[in-house]
Chain A
């Protein structure tokens, strides 16, 4: 079996499913009929702030521009569910309870949805919120009973088939909007998804931390080498990583991204000793700056990090 393109730096299986889901809401993915064509718009990795500083982060928010209906979608991939549990019953129970848990999104109310959409300057008032679990078809076939049990009559189940031909269809529950209901019906084979287009979103909230750290460091090093930057301020990082191609986490709020940058900077400083605090407040400087000029120094830093983070050949 020859080696294949892996795209693993492009993310994990969760990111893959999220891209597939996003593509049926995206105007740039013209293929068959998509939810975009019947008036739905979708937003990956939304955030809803509750009172008391808490927040909820489902995987996807979809809104119907005609019926003003809302779908709050969580991807339940259950990749390793069988690994750590002993018996079949245990697995089934776990699946049912994990599905049931997404009922927590019932806390997301109309105002929170309007507020989130205002970040994109969309004026929208929801009529009805629906909660959906998106499940890979292999898992669904195997654990249909427990999935339906967990979903009850509060959660709608969508299934994604992502082998050679990609589909999303509805397996359980029904939507307020009959057009959507019909569109997703298994009898109509659901919605066929464009093959490819896994690069609409590169990093999600579920991307493994080690990949985020590696890519963050690589992007900072490459950018600083390009402009011969030895010192930089924390405030500059967000524009370095979003105003240059390809932006990292473009779909998140700036304040959320800054949390990620803070975390990555901490790793760069305390674990890899690549940067140190500068003299001024919020200022950082590269500890050794020879890499700014030498490609082989950049390579040896990246190799070293990949090794410590157990990425790629070091996994």
Chain B
């Protein structure tokens, strides 16, 4: 269990901060560079804008400790593709903020993902009916850039007539109430869509835990757990739960990833040593229509991206509403070949990874859910069986 592995590190390097009642941050990143290979001190000096003394005081197989201004930051490798960064607000505010936003600056880091369902499970399971809950939700669906987007000529008319579908339309709400009131509040006619869209762009819970111990904890969708007060062990239990939530999906997507291993010769020749072809991820948006709106939004999402959606690419083929896109991720040099088509009038994507990592594919999948629609059915298909394959 994760908590058993990180507890000794916290006891050794952050016990003073825990005793002083400081907030302890657990920020989870996906990384396409293994922790042991990363130039941590360099990155921190550059990205955190630090002038204060900084040095690495310990480097082990799964953990590295950096000291900034006398305060410790723990980097822990959960696997080859993800890190947990643990620090406290004994560090200056700006450094804490930058440590939480490293992925904005570093191309090969991404925010990890605590799924909406997991967040809800945590608050249902660990808090009592009288515990105070503070829920913040923000939905920021994909919108079309005026200057960058690609609208095929034959869809121009539809686009202009339905402009409201394509412009920025964030919705946000915040709710602070005892837990027993939450369901009641939701049932009282609050915007239904927001409720169904569990996988919305941002989601933040602050809960008071009664079980398995007294603690005040904040959980955010972007892989952030904050221990604010009380029993640290209770927070660690929540952290474990939050981190494990993604595991079944992680395992499921793992089988889609193509794998090649190479043998290098001095002449420069590189041979394939072992090889596993990719499978195909099929996503059907069950609550959406196969129409111009879906075609325009998805084709742009997959090629133009957005400031919070690091995807770029080109539309390679287009036939009516259908298209084939090549989409790329800077994060891990991912390349996907994606077919957009229909099935019983619902929009469907067939995603064939040409090159990717599990966390890269997870990111693409997450963005499709968050930015287009979370109500989906997914299926994994063998490469040989797909249409036109």
Contact = CB atoms under 8 A, between A and B. Distances in A.
Do A and B pair up? The answer is yes
Interface of A: 2-10, 26, 28, 119-121, 195-197, 199-200, 218-219, 222-223, 225-228, 238, 242, 244-247, 250-255, 257, 292, 294-296, 298-300, 302-303, 306, 311-313
A252 B337 CA distance: 25
Contact of A26 (B267, B272, B307, B386): B272
Q: How large is the interface on B (under 10, 10 to 19, 20 to 34, 35 or more residues)?
A: 35 or more
A250 B148 contact: no
- Interface SS majority for chain A: loop
B366 to A, nearest CB: 15
A197 B271 contact: no
A302 B271 contact: no
A11 to B, nearest CB: 12
Given A251-B270, A295-B305, A9 B316 contact: yes
A250 B269 contact: yes
A15 to B, nearest CB: 14
12 contacts: A5-B350, A225-B107, A226-B32, A238-B268, A245-B333, A250-B262, A251-B269, A254-B269, A295-B310, A295-B330, A296-B304, A296-B306
Given A197-B277, A299-B313, A218 B328 contact: yes
A52 B125 CA distance: 78
Contacts of B318: 3, 313
Contacts of B191: none
B388 A6 contact: yes
A-B pairs, top 3 by smallest CB distance, nearest first, are: A254-B268, A4-B388, A295-B305
Contacts of A200: 272, 275
A255 B268 CA distance: 8
B380 to A, nearest CB: 16
B220 interface: no
A268 B359 CA distance: 31
Most B CB within 10 A of own CB, among A6, A8, A226, A228: A226
A212 to B, nearest CB: 15
Contact of A244 (B310, B326, B333): B333
A300 B148 contact: yes
Given A5-B324, A28-B274, A254 B267 contact: yes
Given A199-B277, A295-B306, 13 more contacts: A6-B388, A197-B277, A200-B272, A219-B333, A222-B329, A226-B333, A251-B270, A295-B305, A295-B330, A299-B303, A299-B313, A302-B313, A313-B315
Interface string B376-389: 00000001101111
A197 B383 CA distance: 9
Contact of B305 (A8, A10, A296, A312): A296
Contacts of B186: none
B255 interface: no
Interface string B235-271: 0000000000000000000000010101001011111
A296 B305 CA distance: 6
Nearest to A255: B268
A4 B350 CA distance: 10
Nearest to A303: B314
B233 to A, nearest CB: 38
Contacts of A5: 324, 337, 339, 350, 352, 386-389
A251 B271 contact: yes
A299 B148 contact: yes
Interface string B340-380: 01000000001010110000000000000000000000000
Interface of B: 32, 107-108, 145, 148, 150, 258, 260, 262, 265, 267-272, 274-275, 277, 303-307, 309-319, 322-324, 326, 328-333, 335, 337, 339, 341, 350, 352, 354-355, 383-384, 386-389
B314 A299 contact: yes
Contacts of B304: 295-296, 299
Nearest to B339: A5
Contacts of B331: 226
Contacts of A227: 107-108
Most B CB within 10 A of own CB, among A4, A6, A302: A4
Contacts of A199: 258, 277, 354
Contacts of B316: 6, 8-9, 311-313
Contacts of A195: 384
A140 B307 CA distance: 54
A245 B280 CA distance: 19
A302 to B, nearest CB: 5
Contact of B330 (A6, A9, A226, A300): A226
A8 B354 CA distance: 13
B324 A303 contact: no
Nearest to A22: B272
A312 B148 contact: no
Contacts of B329: 222
A295 B389 CA distance: 29
Contacts of A313: 315-318
A2 B341 CA distance: 8
Given A250-B271, A295-B306, A302 B324 contact: no
A218 B313 CA distance: 9
A219 B332 CA distance: 11
B312 A295 contact: yes
A3 B277 contact: no
A228 B354 contact: no
B328 A28 contact: no
Given A119-B265, A251-B271, A196 B355 contact: no
A82 B374 CA distance: 51
Contacts of B322: 2-3
Given A3-B341, A226-B108, A246 B355 contact: yes
A223 B333 contact: yes
Given A6-B317, A313-B317, A226 B312 contact: no
A10 B309 CA distance: 26
A68 B352 CA distance: 40
B383 A299 contact: no
A300 B314 CA distance: 9
A26 B263 CA distance: 14
Contacts of B306: 295-296
Nearest to A121: B265
Contacts of B387: 2, 4-5
B258 to A, nearest CB: 8
